[in-house]
Chain A
Amino acid sequence: MNPFESNVSRNMQGSFNSPDTHKYSVILPTYNERKNLPVIIWLLAKTFNENNLSWEVIVVDDNSPDGTQEVALQLAKVYGEDKIILKPRAGKLGLGTAYIHGLSFVNGDFVIIMDADFSHHPKFIPQFIRLQKAHNLDIVTGTRYRATSKPASSDARPGGVHGWDFKRKLVSRGANFLADTVLNPGVSDLTGSFRLYRLPVLRHIITETVSKGYVFQMEMMVRARALGYTVGEVPITFVDRIFGDSKLGANEIVSYAKGIWVLFTTV
């Protein structure tokens, strides 16, 4: 047996009990997430505090009509204005530009990108960080489709989804298979958006990324690979949004296929 693949050696890597001197900035784009925002912030605060990590959350709200911003300000009072940083925009300008907007206010050296609707649970962040440290990775991405992390680690538990019907599963699997076959990005979950980036790496990739919507997340991975950045994967469980509406229609599928084509012919 390869001794480097034993659990003892895996656990040794990246999990010494030494203080983590990095600061982790979460960019949280929100649109009508008044119900979800307080809970996700609570979960983030709990996770970071239990793991002695220094953190901040940058909430990029696109002037949500449901009053997400008032809740964000209340949360800033509770957790501190250095922790919960509200950086709103005047109107709904889309997710891709929300990250770019958020990026210009980041004080940390690692950036975590996630959704505010609980489909991405903060409990996985410490695993992302451990994997990043163990292998000095540039990017760690969450995957719903793997049972083990890549590179292997002993604390990863199988990923999965909850609340998806057969059609949603088929579309998601088909979409990832298509992208995987055409673009060969080497990442199992291309449409997910729960990721940890080194700050300069995210800055670099995002300036080169041109597409919008679901394709945006995929393009980030394809470009990361083309630029030679190292990417690790941690299995995550994905619970479909409990509050608020979900949208996945024929339009999304067509624009996704077009996006794959554009990437195929340009990257």
Chain B
Amino acid sequence: MARAHRVALTAFIITVAYFLTLFDFLSVPLLDAAYAEQLLPVLPWWFLVSFGSYCLWSIGLGLVTLRECPEAYDELVGEIAEAKNELRTRGVTVD
């Protein structure tokens, strides 16, 4: 079973459970029926918005925490010069 199948299966079970509750075939445990009636219709939208903010937040955080490493560049430039000098004396074509 590929990951797509597992995800599809989970999504299917959740959707079925959601509609069964929405149309009163199942009841929400630990929650007053009056509240549940108000909550259930907006639940998918809440989920969508949450997921959207999660995506933006993750990518934004990734961008902010992506470190710049100028010191690695400086070190590398020095090493390139050193390598070229040594290799030139040993008969390798470097330019």
Contact between chains at B66 and A121 (CB < 8 Å): no
Contact between chains at A42 and B2 (CB < 8 Å): no
* Residues 69-96 of A contacting B (Cβ, < 8 Å): 70-71, 74-75, 77-78
- The majority secondary structure among interface residues of chain A is helix
Taking CB atoms, residues of chain B closer than 8 Å to A39 are 79-80, 83-84, 87, 94
What are the interface flags for B79-95 relative to A under an 8 Å C-beta threshold, 1 for contact and 0 otherwise?
Answer: 11001101100111111
List the B residue with the shortest CB-CB distance to A35. Answer: B95
Q: A121-B76, A267-B2 are in contact. Are A162 and B59 (CB under 8 A)?
A: no
- Which residue in B3, B86, B91, B93 is a CB contact (below 8 Å) of A42? B86
Taking CB atoms, residues of chain B closer than 8 Å to A158 are 67
Contact between chains at A177 and B59 (CB < 8 Å): yes
- Which residue in A77, A144, A264 is a CB contact (below 8 Å) of B2? A264
| A253 CB within 8 Å of chain B | no
Report how far A177 CA is from B63 CA in the complex, Å: 11
Contact between chains at B91 and A74 (CB < 8 Å): yes
Contact between chains at A145 and B62 (CB < 8 Å): yes
Contact between chains at B66 and A160 (CB < 8 Å): yes
What are the interface flags for A97-139 relative to B under an 8 Å C-beta threshold, 1 for contact and 0 otherwise?
Answer: 0000000000000000000001001000000000000000000
Taking CB atoms, residues of chain A closer than 8 Å to B55 are 177, 181
Taking CB atoms, residues of chain A closer than 8 Å to B29 are none
**Could you list 30 examples of A-B contacts with CB < 8 Å?**
A35-B94, A35-B95, A38-B84, A38-B87, A39-B80, A39-B83, A39-B84, A39-B87, A42-B86, A43-B83, A70-B93, A75-B92, A77-B91, A118-B76, A145-B65, A159-B67, A161-B69, A162-B73, A169-B63, A169-B66, A170-B63, A173-B62, A176-B62, A177-B55, A177-B58, A183-B3, A242-B76, A263-B3, A264-B3, A264-B7
- Interface pairs A-B: 3 shortest CB-CB: A160-B67, A160-B69, A237-B72
